[in-house]
Chain A
Amino acid sequence: MLNKQFLLVYALALWLPLGGAHAAPLTIEITEGVPGALPIAVVPFGVEGQGAPPEDIGAIVAADLKRSGRFAPLAEQDLLARPHEGREVNFRDWRVLGVEGLAVGKVRATGAGQYTVQFQLFNVFQATQLAGYTIPATSAELRRTAHRISDIIYEKLTGEPGAFNTRIAYVTAAGKAPAQTYSLQVADADGHNPQPILNSRQPLLSPAWSPDDTRLAYVSFENKRAQIYIQEIATGKRELIASYPGLNSAPAWSPDGTRLALTLSKDGNPEIYVLSLAAKTLQRLTSNLAIDTEPVWSPDGSALVFTSDRGGRPQLYRMSVNGGDASRITFAGDYNARGVFSPDGKQLAMVHGTGGQYRIALMELKTGALRVLSDRTLDESPSFAPNGAMIIYATNENNRGTLAAVSVDGRVHNRLVLQEGDVREAVWSPFSRRIMLQPDPKP
């Protein structure tokens, strides 16, 4: 299994100017669970046909659900029966165990590297089927199929969409100066299948997903100064988007994907601009002697929030995308930067500094109420899962840059650990549009 993953990484890494890419997967550890997580049983999937599938679908689904903090999957040794389809289920067995949800399924090999994954979700107490699907998948698609199943279970049982079938992009740094190497990686949201899409001997930062999940904008120092590129993830094809004199940084896609907000200092000091990607026209939005940077679009596309120290220290400000006056929106603490909207636009996550401690905080935009979600001292770069349930951020542990995730209610904490080197600047992808499923009520 390891070998296959390894091969896949190299087959898909299409743009490797420096070669020698390290693609060690991130390991996710649940550091703090949640009391009151919903008990659920995910029975190991049955296997039919010639050739065992390379992935353990049931285990992937159980791990996904557990990581979310919303579910407490039953340990495998506690299962009283191992049904693989509805007619094999005796609901009494499962009521005894106190589980509310039961997921069963099987994987059938249908040809060389071809499988059909069948799965059903039941409400144990009502003895009813909540979902049923039959999904064709190649070997390479099996993990994503499992994540899609996790999404269905999550949505059926919580009423909110799951974000398991998504990806994260992040930057790794390895080696000591001056021989440091940097890599921009794209991995599944559970840390598996990391693929370097860019390797450089100069720093990389601020990756930003296009809303259609196909491209990343980022800042690269490969030409010895900050410039912005946009790269297609599937092909590795990329374009230098901004290389004006001075800083070219902090790219942020408009929700419709047609424009990029960015920071340029070509006119003297860092200001916010909006670049129209088709026409390549540039509109300047801010104009003052302070630093204005880190623009982010409101989900409805009408406003930008950005970091400015026009009041002395960095704070978050909001302005119309058409320009005009900016109004300060953060007042707690002495440092607030890198704002990012929750997908519903009601909250803003940020780097919140007070008393020399930099943590991730979440602000209700309506009331201005601020809650601190992380507990270390050098936390930065918050990014929401597309369903708004978790925030991934960068932190520091044992003198190494690591990633962590926290639920927006602050109760679930995960740690994403890389085997070696630093990992930082993680951004969660939008919802994937690449695997569409049709429900199959009677599999």
Chain B
Amino acid sequence: MKLPTKFLFLILPTAILLGCQGTGTKSGESAAIEDKSSAASGATTSAAGDTGAFRGDALDDPAGALSKRIVYFAIDSSEVAQEDRATVSAHARYLSGNATAAVTLEGHADERGSREYNLALGERRGNAVRQLLLAEGAATKQIQVVSYGEEKPVATGHDETSWQQNRRVEISYTSRK
């Protein structure tokens, strides 16, 4: 279940080096990624940030609770599973302790059923994580919820193995302390 995140970690910088115009949307791990897409063009530039420097921030601890940035869901469900509560709590604590930190919660669904319903379902999943973060001390202004529905799968197979990886909320830091 954690594999997709790690893969993205590897793939994204490579893509940028190769000169691909990365969308930057799977930027879960890099705090310095900024979306400078212009409204007119729909094109996106990405800044990769100084990923080489260790800042000593808890967000950068590869073994810490904050290194988990994806919450998974059961089919047609937006309930955060008990096993993911600790992850969400850790992010809530970080947000409440770092007032300038902010996250985007990107909600996703698997491909089954209609695209528009899945768009709504992705938002509901994002909101479920948002409610938990707020309940544990994060502030409203620190959280954005965006749903991509089934439009951005991380696994492209057409079976449960792929679908369970796609029913997710990605916690993406848009700024840190």
Residue ranges of A at the interface with B (Cβ–Cβ < 8 Å): 17-18, 177-180, 200-203, 205-206, 220-226, 246-247, 249-250, 263, 265, 269-270, 291, 293-294, 307, 309, 313-314, 335, 337-338, 351, 353, 356, 358, 377-378, 380-381, 396, 399, 425
Contact = CB atoms under 8 A, between A and B. Distances in A.
Interface string B14-28: 010000111111100
Interface stretch (B58-66, B82-90, B94-102, B116-124): B116-124
- Mostly, the B contact residues are loop
Contacts of A265: 120, 123
A290 to B, nearest CB: 9
Nearest to A337: B114
A179 B20 contact: yes
A314 B75 CA distance: 13
A358 B21 CA distance: 35
B116 A294 contact: yes
B30 interface: no
Given A206-B115, A338-B116, 11 more contacts: A177-B152, A179-B15, A201-B21, A222-B42, A223-B42, A247-B123, A263-B120, A265-B123, A314-B113, A335-B113, A337-B114
B124 A313 contact: no
Question: Which 6 pairs of residues, A with B, have the shortest CB-CB distance?
Answer: A222-B42, A203-B151, A338-B114, A337-B114, A291-B120, A270-B120
Nearest to B157: A399
Contact of B115 (A291, A314, A381): A381
B144 to A, nearest CB: 9
Contacts of B156: 399
Contact of B158 (A220, A380, A396): A396
Interface residues of B, number: 43
Given A205-B116, A314-B117, A399 B39 contact: no
Contacts of A263: 116, 120
A202 B114 contact: no
B146 interface: yes
Contacts of B42: 17-18, 200-202, 220, 222-223
Contacts of A380: 113-115
Given A17-B43, A378-B111, A221 B151 contact: yes
A246 B146 CA distance: 7
Contact of B113 (A178, A250, A337, A399): A337
29 contacts: A17-B42, A18-B43, A178-B15, A179-B15, A200-B42, A201-B21, A202-B23, A203-B152, A220-B42, A221-B148, A224-B25, A224-B35, A224-B37, A225-B147, A226-B119, A246-B123, A250-B116, A265-B123, A269-B127, A293-B116, A313-B76, A337-B113, A337-B117, A338-B114, A338-B116, A338-B117, A356-B112, A378-B111, A396-B158
B67 interface: no
